[in-house]
Chain A
Amino acid sequence: MSANTENLKTPVLRFENAGFAYPGYSPVLSEFSASLYEGEIICIIGASGCGKSTMLSLAGGFLLPDSGLITDSRGTVSGPEPKRIMVFQDSAQLFPWLTVFANASFPDADPTHVSELLEMVDLADAAEKYPSQLSGGMKQRAVIARALAGRPEILLLDEPFTALDAPTRRGLQDMLLELNSELGVSMMFVTHDIREAVYLADRLLIMTPGGVKMMNIELERGAGKRDEFSNEFVAIEREVYGIISPDKS
């Protein structure tokens, strides 16, 4: 356990010898065990088609393991529920017929908490706007506000910033780190961008055809704290790249 994870209190999600395969295909996971701790950010990274989104769907209860167990703070995960909330890869997750505030309140979140969240994601001034009036970055902030409005234990994010330009992405990554620090919500974050993963994560969950590898990131985490041009950061990036693409490293 790293310096980052030593202070983490309790596991909020556990994979215990979990296995999963789509019918007729090789297993995506077999005998996989790992835990997500309270307040921790795990980034799931790997080549396209390696099963990153499948891993997230298992954590969310949208898929169930063929073998082994996945448990959360209330017991075995048997389906999706609001305490494990998912931000999907689809770009059109906001309901176009609801304002930003109504979207963030969906289905029945506490309005005071929603107002606070909209302040935190810098959307307070856009609360009465409709999604069609928002930029891509604002839409993703609204999606994240909605995801957090029900006070989930775990936020599961499937490549949420892929379609955004680099400065907007960095702003949202920092926002996510601040939300994590202020709300203490645990996160699993799927990305194909190694730099994004190293910037955000306490630990990386690296998926390769040969299996799943966990890696601690021994850098201080927080908004703007990791310098992506520092030697340490670049060295971690290279190491991860070497694991994902051993032939090209």
Chain B
Amino acid sequence: MKRSLPGTLLWFVILLVVWEITARSGLVSELVLPSITVVFASFGGELISGSLLSGTFVSLGFVVAGILSGAFTAFILAALSFQFAAVKRLSSMLTAVLHPLPGIAVLPILILFFGIGRLTLLMVIIHSVLWPLVVNITAGFSSVPAVYQKIGANYALKSSAFFFRIMLPASFPHIFSGLKTAWARAWRAAVSAEMIFGITGSGGGLGWFVFQKRIFMDTPGMYAGILMLALIGLIVESGLFHLIEAETLKKWGEA
């Protein structure tokens, strides 16, 4: 269904008004639900102080590093699965077992192996993105029309040229879908891990920022952090992915 921007904005304003009325009515403690103006003031203050932005960049840095590492591994696994039946069986088994496991569920195991620290957080993110990417890239490779193989053979394309000029773009709809899932899982996993374990320690990410604000009962600051989480999600999912989709799949008639 096509989203209407004015309709969405109207609902957003209504929710803010309801929030403000509830906060000002005194029915709920300001430690639980501060006024929206106070939250915005805190958001601005944290932005100016730099702590909100530094937390955002730390979390985004982890997520990007995790997605790149996961995507690299997923491509290798999917390519090997495409070539070798034995690897395909191994990949299918691993995906069936590990794909349903939330990143947070494997965190205790990773802490045992790697301790509490940045490497563990990175591994959680890699786990979160690897399996949906493997599933989607494998599906993408398998869905490349057989006639493309013949066209590649007819033009005597080398394997690398066939991969980069035909296989990869032909698989792009699946890969893009995998990337969207990977981003969503990675972002949630990173923030959750930071919130639950605070494992990035000093100089932590956005999850750690929210976690600290809650511990010190800086409720407006906590909401400011959550607002930033929502904003980043909105920018990436409705902005970046939307833009990529408009420039690729929609133009190609595959959206």
| Chain A interface residues toward B at CB < 8 A | 60, 62, 79-82, 84-86, 88, 90, 92-93, 95-97, 106-107, 130-133, 150
Interface size on B, residues (CB 8 A): 22
Which residues on the A side are within 8 Å of B150 (C-beta)? 62, 80, 86, 88
A131–B169 alpha-carbon span in the complex (Å): 15
Is B253 touching A85 in the complex (CB atoms < 8 A)? no
A241→B64 CA distance, assembly (Å):
66
Q: A130-B252, A130-B253, A150-B155 are in contact. Are A107 and B169 (CB under 8 A)?
A: no
What 8 new A-B contacts, CB under 8 Å, besides A92-B145, A97-B248? A80-B153, A86-B150, A88-B150, A95-B169, A96-B253, A97-B172, A107-B155, A130-B252
**Set of chain B residues within 8 Å of A92, measured between Cβ atoms:** 145, 147
Within the complex, what minimum Cβ distance (angstroms) separates B60 from chain A? 28
Q: Are B161 and A96 in contact (CB under 8 A)?
A: no
For residue B41, CB closer than 8 A to chain A, the reply is no
Q: Which of A80, A90, A106, A133 contacts B147 (CB 8 A)?
A: A90
A93 touching B151 by the CB < 8 A rule? yes
Which residues of chain B are near A90, meaning CB under 8 Å?
Answer: 145-147
CB-based contact A82/B154 at 8 Å: yes
Name the residue in B146, B156, B161, B248 with the highest tally of chain A Cβ atoms < 10 Å from its Cβ: B156
Contacts of A62 in B (CB 8 A): 150, 153
Contact A85 B170 (CB under 8 A): no
**Would you give 16 A-B contacts (Cβ < 8 Å), ordered by A?**
A82-B155, A85-B154, A88-B151, A92-B145, A92-B147, A93-B147, A93-B151, A95-B148, A95-B170, A96-B252, A96-B254, A97-B252, A107-B157, A107-B165, A130-B251, A130-B252
The A-contacting residues of B in range 216-248, CB under 8 angstroms, are 248
State whether the Cβ of B166 lies closer than 8 Å to any Cβ in chain A.
yes
What residues on A are CB-neighbors of B170 within 8 Å? Answer: 95, 97
CB of B156 within 8 A of CB of A80, answer yes
Residues of chain B within 8 A (CB-CB) of A79 are: 153
Those of B21-61 within 8 Å (CB) of chain A: none
Taking a contact as CB atoms under 8 Å apart, the answer to whether B253 and A82 are in contact is no
Give chain A residues whose Cβ lies under 8 Å from the Cβ of B148. Answer: 95
A60 touches B154 (CB 8 A): yes
Residues from chain B with Cβ under 8 Å of A80 in the complex: 150, 153-154, 156
Neighbouring A residues of B253 by C-beta, 8 Å = 96, 130-133
Q: Are A86 and B157 in contact (CB under 8 A)?
A: no
- Per-residue CB contact flags for chain B residues 139-164 toward chain A (1 = under 8 Å, else 0) read 00000011110110111110001000
Q: Considering only CB atoms, which chain A residue lies closest to B168 in the complex?
A: A97
Nearest 9 interchain pairs by C-beta: A132-B253, A90-B147, A96-B252, A97-B169, A80-B154, A80-B153, A88-B147, A107-B155, A97-B252
C-alpha gap A186/B145 in the complex (Å): 28
